[in-house]
Amino acid sequence: MEFARNKTVRGIDLYYEHYQNPEAKETLVLLHGFLSSTFSFRHLVPLLKEDYNVISVDLPPFGKSGKISSFKYSYENLAATVVELMKSLGVREFNVVGHSMGGQIAMNILLHHPDYAKKGILLCSSGYLKKAKLPLVLSSYIPYFHLYVKFHLARSGVKQNLQNVVYDHSMINDEMLYGYLSPFLEDDIFKALTMMIRHREGDLSAEELRKIETPCLLVWGEHDKVVPVRVGRKLNKDLKNSELIILKETGHLVPEERPEDVHQLINRFMAAEETAEATANGSL
């Protein structure tokens, strides 16, 4: 059974897509990257839903989720909001899949809510980025600052941004262009992005990462220009229970570029962890 709906969580309208598999034992929660939405998982979801219950979330203020100014758009609060959504859906345990910024929010879940997240799959996850500098944060209080944000994003252009995040430019088509452009056709998103600049607390520190004990799979594109492989290697060292896989001829947008490979890697990781758990519990 598949359905999409909105639910109010921690004071904001949260859009999510739920793909229920009655035979599946595990639930995967998908978290997209910055300036993206559930759309970025459209090639991966059809593969994953054959083996798992899948819940794909539009992280505020992106996609079809709320864009209100009263919500705190910090990573820690976004992580708590995702966990609250799962609790409201009766999902007591889940495995979190995060791409880019979604990976940083996934790690916030692993750190702050370890009892809920069983495993982490980090796809070209952001890491080690500092909080926005004070002048930029102060600028976010200037009236109409959101118009500057809108101008900056419009100037860079959706096609140019896509060319920066995929290795094979020939895969960029009209469907892809419109899918990544459509969330930015309303002004409310730019006001919310201004709040996100103000609230973003910076990525987890190395010290915080070392506290995470949850098993993690790290999947990286060899030619990632947004979050270079060196970030993945550093995360692999700081996350004590992690494995790093690097995909050849791949850029930053791995769910778009290599959905079949990502699906196989997730299946292998989940199966290996289940075997390890069974061995530890004396079930084998």
- Which three-class secondary structure state does DSSP give residue 96? strand
Pairing of strands 12-19, 2-9: antiparallel
Give every strand in the sheet of 12-19, ordered side by side.
2-9, 12-19, 53-57, 27-31, 94-99, 117-123, 216-221, 242-247
- Which three-class secondary structure state does DSSP give residue 57? strand
Query: Can you read off the two tokens belonging to residue 283?
Result: 């079930």
Instruction: Give the mean model confidence (pLDDT) for residues 140-148.
Output: 57
Please tell me which residue, 141 or 161, carries the higher pLDDT value.
Answer: 161
Prediction pTM value: 0.89
Please tell me which residue, 36 or 192, carries the higher pLDDT value.
Answer: 36
Which range (78-92, 122-136, 200-214, 253-267) has the least confidence? 122-136
Distance CA 215, CA 258 (A): 22
Average pLDDT taken over every residue of the chain:
89
Distant-in-sequence, close-in-space partners of 234: CB < 8 Å, separation ≥ 6? 127, 128, 206
Summarised one tens digit per residue, pLDDT across range 190-233 is 888 888 888 888 999 999 999 999 999 999 999 999 999 999 99
For residues 56-86, one letter each, b for 16 or more C-beta atoms within 10 angstroms of the residue's C-beta and e for the rest, the string is: bbbbbbbbbbbbbeebbbbbbbbbbbbbebb
Give the fold, CATH level 3, of 2-282: Rossmann fold (3.40.50)
Distance CA 243, CA 229 (A): 13
How many CA atoms within 13 Å lie on the side-chain side of 163?
A: 5
Catalytically active residues, by annotation:
100, 252
List the chain domain ranges.
2-282
Residue with tokens 């992005």: 193
Please tell me which residue, 108 or 276, carries the higher pLDDT value.
Answer: 108
Strands (E), the chain: 2-9, 12-19, 27-31, 53-57, 94-99, 117-123, 216-221, 242-247
Summarised one tens digit per residue, pLDDT across range 52-110 is 999 999 999 999 999 998 999 999 999 999 999 999 999 999 999 999 999 999 999 99
Query: Can you read off the two tokens belonging to residue 154?
Result: 């419009």
**Which residue from 196, 246, 178 is spatially nearest to 69, judged by alpha carbons?**
196
